[in-house]
Every structure is written in structure tokens, then in C-alpha cells.
Chain A
Amino acid sequence: MHIVGVILMLVGVYGLLTNRHIIKMIIAINILEIGLNLFIISVGYSEGLIAPIITDINKNASNFADPLPQALVLTAIVIGVGTTAILLAVARKLYQQYGTFDIREMEGGR
């Protein structure tokens, strides 16, 4: 699963480089974030580990998956939502100002 995370990140970077539509660039940023979260969690997992929750059945077990990367990814997902919200608000204001979503037709673009 590490390789899937890396490939998703590279697909996101490729999408960010080649698109001209602003909404598709925001979608590429979201694909990059999904790939990154998948990669971080796959670092803390190996074969045969179980979920890090103590119940009555596994009180004395010792092969829990690593809870530290999961805590970091929990934070990262919510920050991704905040970033997407403010990016979409700015994109909507740009549409009201210039009448298009294409970045080459806006004033000051290439």
C-alpha cells in the first residue's frame, strides 16, 4: 500500500501541472491529500497487526497497530477540508470577477 500512496501523490502533482480549469486543480490537490494520508498510515502497519482499541477480548494483546500515524492523519484530513473550503470560496469570487474558470483568460495570467 505504500506504492499506491506514492502513485496517487504523483497523479495529483501531474494533475496540478497540466490543468487549466481551477476546479480541476482543486480536485488534483484533494487527490494529492488522499494519497499522502494513505501513505502515512501504511507506514504504521505490517502483517498481522490489529486495530488499536482495547476491548474485553484483547486486553492483554501486544500486537496493536501504531496509533501515532493515525493521530497525525486525523488532523491532516480535517485541515484538508478547511483548505478546500477556502480555495473554493476564492474560486467563486474569481468567477464573479472575470467570468471564466480558465486561468489563461484572466488578467495577469500567461
Chain B
Amino acid sequence: MKKLTAIILVSILFVLLFINMFNGSLNFDKISERDADGNYYTEQPTSANMVTSVVVDYRSFDTLGEVTVLFVSSLGVAFVLGGLTTRVKSNHSQSFILKVGVDVLFSLIILVGAYIFIHGHLTPGGGFPGGALIGAALLLKYVSNDTYRANIKGFKALEGTMGSIYVLLGLLGIVTGSFFLENILDIGTIGNLISGGLIPIIYVLIGLKVGSELTGIFDHFMNEEV
């Protein structure tokens, strides 16, 4: 499509958006005052981090859907790039300082990632950035060393186990007579490390699952067939 046609179409879209969104009928300044759902979430939070209590406790089914979407995307990458088995060799020689430095930093980065998803209900963060940080630590190992391959079978087993435990914890809610994915342990005082019922357990599961999935995706990307 030529650039002039694209500019005309995009400006028509912009004018239509301006007419419907910014003409004063949708009052963006006051939307947080009159939102009844927002008030419910901020007045009875189940954990100190209110976003965590929305993601894991009140809207836990959406989080299960997101975990499924990540699993399907990891499956898709494995189908498309599955037949490649050897590492991509780079043109220049590997740097020794980088290899030793990464070996020192690797355990620190995993420690920071684990801290982020263990304290997900007290500080900002949660399962998703913690797991992504673990995936990034393994990516660093792949970048610095030309012949490194992680233990992919172990990571895939870990990913499957964590996802199944999440669904089983949800079914436990039905077994005790209430709805699916209900918070069955008691809440405790808001602000302690052990509080919020099932919330820290679910974030640990999600953190480990996301970390293993991203490691699997990076392993498929760094391979080629000879």
C-alpha cells in the first residue's frame, strides 16, 4: 500500500477516534472515582499489593488463561523450530572474561528473580517478572558460551508439573464445596510474609513455570541444523 493511501486511512481513523472518545461524553478525569469495581478492590484487598490480589485472587481465572496462552506459544515455537539440534556458531572467538563474569553473576540474578516472585504479594513485581528474570539469566549463559545447552528435559518436566499443580489447586476449591480457584487458606494479617492464603504459593508456581518456558523458547531460537 502506498504511503499516501496509508496516511489518509490512518488520519480518517484518528478523526473517528477523536469524535467518539474525546468529545466529553467519556470523562477520563473522573473514571476512578465512580468505578464500583475499583472501590471493591481497594477497600477489601487480600494482600498488601492490591494488583496481586486482583490478579491472583479476584480474577484468578484470567491468570489461568494467560498461563495457557504462554504454554500454547511455547508449544508453537517447538513445533516450528523443533528439528534444529546444534548450536549456532559465531564468527569471532569467545571472550574469556565474559564467560567467567557470567558464571559469577548467574546465581545472583537467579536469587533476585526468586526474591521478586516470593515477595510478590508485598512489593511490586510478582510471578511474571520474576520468571522472566530467571529466563534472562539462562539467556545470558547461552550468549556467553558457545557450547552451552541447558537441561531442557528437566525444564520441560518442571513447566508441566507447575501448570498441573495450579489447576489441581483450583479443583481443590470445588472439592471443599465452593467455586473453582477460591482462596481456601486463611488471609492472616496484611503485610506479613506468610499472608494472603494461596497467593504466595500460586506466584511461586507461576514464576517457575514462566522461567522454564522462556528458557525453552531461547533454546529453540539459538539452534540451527548443520
A residues neighboring B (CB under 8 Å): 2-3, 6, 10, 13-14, 17-18, 42-47, 49, 51-56, 62, 64-68, 70-72, 74-75, 77-79, 81-83, 85-86, 88-90, 92-93
Contact = CB atoms under 8 A, between A and B. Distances in A.
Given A78-B70, A89-B80, A93-B81, A66 B38 contact: yes
A87 B132 CA distance: 19
A60 to B, nearest CB: 12
Q: Lowest 9 CB-CB distances: which A-B pairs, in order?
A: A82-B73, A52-B50, A71-B54, A17-B6, A67-B50, A66-B38, A89-B80, A86-B76, A66-B32
Interface stretch (B7-15, B108-116, B152-160): B7-15
B51 interface: yes
B6 A18 contact: yes
B221 interface: yes
A4 B32 CA distance: 20
Contacts of B55: 71, 74-75
- A contact patch SS: helix
Given A43-B31, A86-B73, A78 B38 contact: no
- B contact patch SS: helix
Contacts of A72: 62
A34 to B, nearest CB: 16
A66 B59 contact: no
Contacts of B14: 6, 10
Nearest to B65: A75
Contacts of A85: 73-74, 77, 217
A53 B35 contact: no
Contacts of B54: 67-68, 70-71
A89 B38 contact: no
Interface string B208-226: 0010000001001100000
A13 B28 contact: no
Nearest to A75: B66
A67 B42 contact: yes
Contacts, number: 127
B73 A83 contact: yes
B92 interface: no
A52 B77 contact: no
B186 interface: no
A74 B210 CA distance: 14
Interface string B10-39: 100110010001100000111110010110
6 contacts: A17-B1, A54-B49, A62-B42, A71-B51, A72-B62, A89-B81
Contacts of B2: 18
Given A71-B51, A82-B69, A82-B70, 5 more contacts: A71-B55, A75-B66, A79-B66, A85-B73, A90-B80
Contacts of A92: 81
B6 A14 contact: yes
B73 A49 contact: no
A53 B221 CA distance: 38
